[in-house]
Chain A
């Protein structure tokens, strides 16, 4: 179990290799990578800048990860989230879940992403090709995605 918040890019393949090295108890690895899209509401995007709350981010990600590991009985997990200025095609977030069987790894990865999107203290600002800048609005669907998991941590 690990969480990392960093400015630099990550290498998903290398992260997975390191996580499974020397282990024979793992039958399933699910990897999710989030990338910067080149369009926002139909307009060309120049850059995406992620601000975060450093002292809270790692603590909150660790709480979310611990909940996922406990709830799904994961054999391991990793969350890497970037901050700073990113560009279309750049990776933003990596979630890796390890388990003996596939269901826990699939569900654990989805749970981690749903929680991360609604709880981890990151804010995105879009800069468009026409020179305008705007903070991204939280999507109502992210809150709905959370509610399907139920449980105490869905309370705000």
Chain B
């Protein structure tokens, strides 16, 4: 845990509307469409849920628009746990977006 981490945490705690820094990871064809496997982004405080984050990403560029164009197809996990689009992202360190899984 670095000094930067604790600074970010106390800033977030000081204001409910503060933005947050979050690592976003992409897998399979979502990764291919976005064009990267991972990025760390600063999201504004108005982005409250996983669904809000998708909307916010889509507005950033055509690669995100292409990855998220089929509504409801892309799945998400917050800190390594499956979640729905309504899940709040506050406090999460990592969000992941991926197609429905095809293991086994």
Which residues of chain A have a CB within 8 Å of any CB of chain B?
A: 34, 50-53, 55-56, 59-60, 81, 92-93, 113, 116-125, 135-138, 142, 156
Contacts and interface: CB of A to CB of B under 8 A. Distances in A.
In the complex, which range does the number of interface residues on chain B fall in? 10 to 19
Given A51-B28, A119-B82, A123-B28, A56 B101 contact: no
Contacts of A142: 104
- Of listed B25, B98, B101, residue having the most chain A CB within 10 A: B101
Interface in B1-53: 25, 27-29
Contacts of B61: none
A-B pairs, top 3 by smallest CB distance, nearest first, are A122-B103, A138-B100, A123-B28
15 contacts: A51-B27, A53-B27, A59-B80, A92-B104, A117-B103, A119-B101, A120-B101, A121-B27, A121-B77, A121-B96, A121-B101, A123-B27, A123-B28, A123-B29, A136-B102
Nearest to A137: B102
Contacts, number: 75
B99 interface: yes
Contacts of A59: 80-81
B80 A123 contact: no
A121 B103 contact: yes
Given A123-B27, A123-B28, A135-B28, A55 B101 contact: no
Contacts of B102: 117, 122-124, 135-138
Nearest to B25: A53
A117 B80 contact: no
Interface string B84-104: 100000000010101111111
Contacts of A123: 27-29, 98-99, 101-103
A125 B31 CA distance: 13
B58 to A, nearest CB: 21
Nearest to A123: B28
Contacts of A156: 75, 82, 84
A155 to B, nearest CB: 9
